[in-house]
Amino acid sequence: MNWAFNSSGDVNEMYAAGLLRGMLEIPSASYQERALADFLAEAMVDLGFQTHIDVVGNVIGVIERGDGPTLMLLGHLDTVPGQFPVRSEDGKLYGRGAVDAKGPLAAMICAAASAVDFPGRIVVIGVVEEETPGSRGAMEIRATHDRPDALIIGEPSGWSSVVLGYKGKLDLRYTVKCPATHPSNPAPKASELAVECWAALVDLLGPDVGHDVFARPGATLCQLNGDLTSATADISVRTPPGFDVDKLVRELHERLPAGKLEVLNSVAACRVGRANPAVRALVSGIRRLHAQPRLLVKTATSDMNTLAEVWDIPMATYGPGDSKLDHADNEHIMLSDFLRGINVLSIAISELALLPVGSDDKVSSAPLAERSLRCPT
């Protein structure tokens, strides 16, 4: 018997915890994911996947078990910088990426390997550069892969919660140069103009701007560098569904007396309905583990936004881990929650085996207000 499996074909708990720990021990800050991709490619081969690493560095594992539906499980390899020692303590596993998002990706790999009765094709992908403005890994997947029949994105939702949607994101850069002058000269200085750009943006977004409500935009002044002659401001705006990005950029540009305003990245908000088959499958898994499911929307952004722009299919985001620990110096995951997450995903995979294959309208059975909503472009 393969030591990774028990007699029922499930990946055992020792192997699952060991896989996650091995992932945590490999630093994988954005743009430095190759060592982790190599590790997972080898691990997935041992679990029965056909694997390869694509041209941008995404690791892709495929299990073919029949002509049924194609299910894609997609998480990200990269973390923010700041590796710290991996350790186990009081049932918790500490390490950079434990929740964001190596824990969810490890759970997906284990659940997919255990799905011995799935009648179709399961594709598990670890993408690069999710923590960067360009989301290069997810962009490559949507450009080169056929649309699956369902998609689950691996991000920390908490083992008993499912994420229905995310705000969009608009990344802006304002640069300005001014002639050298004395500080007492009343002429505008570059640093002052950069500050005025931020103030103009906040004014345009209105008095209710903030990150605490899904239906309202929120803005962050990510970086400000400048002196009297040159300045740069990097600004990120989180946008709700239906937000007019072009109008905001146009009106902000009109308020700037000098300098250059660039759009570095723009991705629309997305949200699916409660009746979405991917949501229902995950909710079923949570209920089978005797918990009351929570359905969430997030004010951040994920690769769900990137893929929802082009794939109008059943999708949802799910993964064990407390998102409040994202990027934290004490980032950790409860191993019991990690194992529950594998079980929830295993049940959801079984439920999604009943999806139609290659249908043009995979969510039409839901009421209109509850259907999977394609993000506006």
Tell me which residues are annotated as active site: 78, 130
277-303 in b/e burial notation, b at 16+ Cβ within 10 A?
bbbbbbbbbbeeeeeebebbbbbebbb
Report the C-alpha gap between 45 and 297 in whole angstroms.
35
Tokens representing residue 125 in the block: 């992908």
CA distance 371 to 356: 16
What distance in Å separates the CA atoms of residue 215 and residue 75, rounded to the nearest whole number? 26
Cα(317)–Cα(259) distance, rounded to whole angstroms? 40
For residue 143, the SS3 value is: helix
Quick check: bond before 278 cis, omega within 30?
Answer: no
Q: What DSSP assignment string belongs to 117-132?
A: T--SEEEEEEES-TTS
Residue 67 burial by CB count (10 A; 0-12/13-18/19+): exposed, middle or buried? exposed
| Helix 335-352 × helix 277-288 angle, to 10° | 130
Dist. CA 286–CA 214, nearest whole Å? 24
Query: C-alpha 69: how far from its chain's center?
Result: 23
Separation of alpha carbons 200 and 294, rounded Å: 38
What residues contact residue 85 under an 8 Å CB cut-off, 6+ apart?
Answer: 94, 95
